[in-house]
């Protein structure tokens, strides 16, 4: 079992490759259309929020609200629910390489190409002239880079964030399939399945706690992060009322599946001291 995350430049044949791999392996293909449909259907995330935040950096005004975090938090909950029982999937985009960083059994791929080749593909696909196609390529690449910086504070185009970087200027889809199949064979040989399933369960529990604190208990924790290892939940973030620190700790301690809590939430006074 394994999960493949695919980050991509616009026009790099990433969707064709992702779909082809999913068909070859018989795995789930988690793409934009499926994500947006099910997020709206299951969690009540509005289509407006989806179109505003899906692989896009929030604008200036949106960055002052918490709607971008809500979208991203529910997306991750949705993803873990999709793969928790059968972790065999291809995730196209959505920062998968970053929120699944250091998870055993996850193959992180980035698909690229030279700008001129990608522009030519977009011209052919959408029947655009060169100027419009180049603008679209650059815009979508910029949006994905901004999304990654905003939500994960990571560089989208850093090759060190990926296990494989594949240039499709010359390599066709069949060659790419064989390259990825070879990598998956190594994963299967190393028997990552048990470690992958265990870590996914921990990440799923952590994400459920995030949803519980922010949207069910409605505790205003800023920059909330939750990590779970061996039934110990570590909570990080800031609050503007001291009493909320204990409230967070008590809420998490009572959450099903949590045996111990490391409460690292800190109080931050947002007002300057009175002279």
pLDDT (0 to 100) of residue 213: 98
The pTM (predicted TM-score) of the whole model is 0.89
pLDDT (0 to 100) of residue 2: 87
Q: pLDDT digits over 130-175, tens only?
A: 999 999 999 999 999 999 998 899 999 999 999 999 999 999 999 9
pLDDT (0 to 100) of residue 98: 95
The set of residues, in sequence order, having a beta carbon less than 8 Å from that of 261 and lying 6+ positions away, is 232, 233, 234, 235, 249, 252, 253
* Average pLDDT of the chain, as a whole number: 89
Kindly indicate the confidence band of residue 268, based on its pLDDT and cuts at 50, 70 and 90: very high
Q: pLDDT digits over 39-68, tens only?
A: 776 676 777 767 676 666 666 555 545 777
Q: Give the separation between CA 62 and CA 59, rounded to whole angstroms.
A: 5
Closest C-alpha among 78, 71, 70, 87 to residue 25: 87
pLDDT (0 to 100) of residue 54: 66
Q: Which of 87-101, 111-125, 261-275 has the lowest mean pLDDT?
A: 261-275
pLDDT (0 to 100) of residue 86: 84
CA 160 from centre of chain: 17
């Amino acid at each position: 079992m394994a999960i493949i995350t695919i980050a991509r430049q616009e026009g790099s044949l990433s969707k064709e490759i992702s779909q082809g791999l999913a068909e070859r392996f018989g795995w789930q293909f988690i793409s934009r259309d499926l994500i947006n449909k099910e997020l709206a259907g299951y969690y009540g995330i509005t289509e407006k929020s989806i179109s505003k935040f899906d692989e896009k950096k929030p604008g200036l005004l949106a960055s002052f609200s918490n709607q971008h975090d809500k979208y991203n938090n529910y997306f991750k909950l949705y993803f873990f629910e999709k793969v928790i029982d059968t972790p065999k999937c291809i995730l196209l985009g959505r920062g998968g390489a970053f929120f699944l960083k250091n998870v055993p059994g996850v193959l992180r791929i980035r698909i690229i190409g030279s700008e001129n080749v990608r522009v030519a593909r977009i011209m052919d696909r959408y029947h655009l002239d060169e100027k419009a196609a180049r603008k679209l390529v650059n815009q979508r690449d910029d949006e994905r880079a901004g999304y990654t910086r905003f939500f994960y504070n990571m560089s989208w185009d850093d090759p060190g964030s990926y296990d494989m970087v594949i240039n499709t200027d010359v390599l066709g889809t069949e060659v790419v399939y064989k390259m990825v199949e070879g990598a998956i064979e190594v994963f299967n040989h190393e028997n990552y399945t048990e470690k992958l399933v265990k870590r996914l369960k921990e990440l799923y529990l952590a994400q459920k706690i995030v949803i519980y604190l922010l949207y069910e208990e409605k505790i205003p924790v800023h920059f909330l992060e939750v990590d779970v290892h061996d039934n110990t939940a570590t909570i990080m973030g800031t609050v503007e009322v001291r009493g909320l620190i204990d409230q967070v700790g008590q809420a998490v301690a009572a959450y099903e599946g949590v045996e111990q809590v490391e409460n690292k939430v800190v109080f931050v006074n947002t007002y300057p001291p009175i002279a």
